[in-house]
């Protein structure tokens, strides 16, 4: 069977590992971090993800949608608090009848996807291995591993190494390859809210408090804890 090398074992990398694993390709994932399983949330990563229709239908194709739904909270409604306005409970915009967004812990989803990908015997994750360069002439992926450098070859190479992709950086040297990046001028922060009594806030509702220059959002998790941002 053909082989695919995947640089990055985050959400996109591990979903791809599932897809190619299912097609019986030989899959090797190079992930620069250590194995996230058995660990708490990763620093610097947002705690919760809101999965919309596209993410859920991708998971459905893999036969994983129902299991993932059990791990999250389906959100269909929102309450918006603004100065001098009465809060109103409304349907989330853009949802068709029966649709919802699923809020889910990013770290747990990532662990789950790696476990699912590894159920295919033809999928192998190599942690603590950083794909540094894609050599466009030799078609080799150069990977830094703990015990030296690997020059890996595959029929297909997928760059799933996130927003600061090393593979993209090496492709920038190829003529005709364009890239531009723009930072938005707002800040973002995840909040773990330690509340003694969250019973006023209910799961399944997206809460937001808004002023001119600040939006605080809160979601009730499956275990009744609160995540805010």
Ligand X SMILES: Cc1cc2nc3c(=O)[nH]c(=O)nc-3n(C[C@H](O)[C@H](O)[C@H](O)COP(=O)(O)OP(=O)(O)OC[C@H]3O[C@@H](n4cnc5c(N)ncnc54)[C@H](O)[C@@H]3O)c2cc1C
Interface residues with ligand X (CB under 6 A)? 7-13, 30-33, 46, 49-50, 55, 130-131, 160-163, 166, 188
Minimum gap (Å) between residue 37 Cβ and ligand X: 13
Inter-residue long-range contacts of 161-168, CB under 8 Å, 24+ positions, other chains counted = 161/7, 161/8, 161/13, 161/32, 161/131, 162/8, 162/10, 165/7, 165/8, 166/7, 166/130, 166/131, 166/132, 166/133, 167/7, 167/131, 167/133, 167/134, 167/141
Minimum gap (Å) between residue 50 Cβ and ligand X: 4
Minimum gap (Å) between residue 84 Cβ and ligand X: 29
The neighbouring-strand residues paired with 49 are: 104
Q: Give me the residue whose beta carbon is nearest to ligand X.
A: 10
Residue reference for tokens 């390859």: 177
With respect to ligand X, which residue has the nearer C-beta, 88 or 183? 183
With respect to ligand X, which residue has the nearer C-beta, 88 or 189? 189
With respect to ligand X, which residue has the nearer C-beta, 163 or 186? 163
Minimum gap (Å) between residue 186 Cβ and ligand X: 11
Q: What does the alpha-carbon distance between residue 86 and residue 196 come to, in Å, rounded to a whole number?
A: 25
With respect to ligand X, which residue has the nearer C-beta, 179 or 188? 188
With respect to ligand X, which residue has the nearer C-beta, 22 or 206? 206
Minimum gap (Å) between residue 86 Cβ and ligand X: 28
DSSP line for 155-220: SEEEE---TT-HHHHHHTTSTT--------S-----EEE--S--TTS-TTEEEEEE-SS-EEEEEE
With respect to ligand X, which residue has the nearer C-beta, 116 or 161? 161
Minimum gap (Å) between residue 136 Cβ and ligand X: 16
């Amino acid at each position: 069977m053909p082989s695919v090398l995947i640089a990055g074992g985050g959400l996109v990398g591990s979903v791809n590992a599932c897809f190619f694993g299912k097609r019986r390709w030989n899959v090797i994932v190079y992930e620069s971090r250590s194995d996230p399983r058995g660990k708490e949330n990763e620093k610097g990563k947002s705690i919760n993800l809101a999965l919309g229709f596209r993410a859920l239908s991708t998971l459905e194709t893999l036969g994983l949608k129902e299991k993932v739904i059990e791990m999250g909270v389906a959100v269909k409604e929102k309450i918006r608090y603004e100065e001098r306005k009465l809060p109103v409970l409304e349907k989330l915009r853009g949802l068709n009848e029966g649709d919802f967004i699923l809020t889910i812990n990013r770290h747990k989803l990532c662990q789950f996807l790696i476990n699912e990908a590894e159920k295919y015997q033809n999928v192998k994750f190599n942690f603590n291995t950083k794909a540094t360069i894609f050599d466009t002439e030799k078609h080799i992926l150069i990977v830094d591993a703990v015990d030296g450098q690997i020059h890996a070859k595959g029929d297909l190479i997928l760059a799933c190494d996130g927003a600061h992709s090393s593979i993209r950086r090496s492709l920038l040297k190829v003529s005709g390859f364009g890239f531009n990046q723009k930072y938005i001028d707002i800040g973002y922060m995840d909040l773990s809210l330690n509340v003694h009594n969250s019973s006023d806030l209910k799961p399944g509702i997206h809460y937001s408090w808004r002023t001119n220059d600040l939006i605080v959002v809160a979601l009730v998790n499956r275990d009744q804890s609160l995540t805010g941002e």
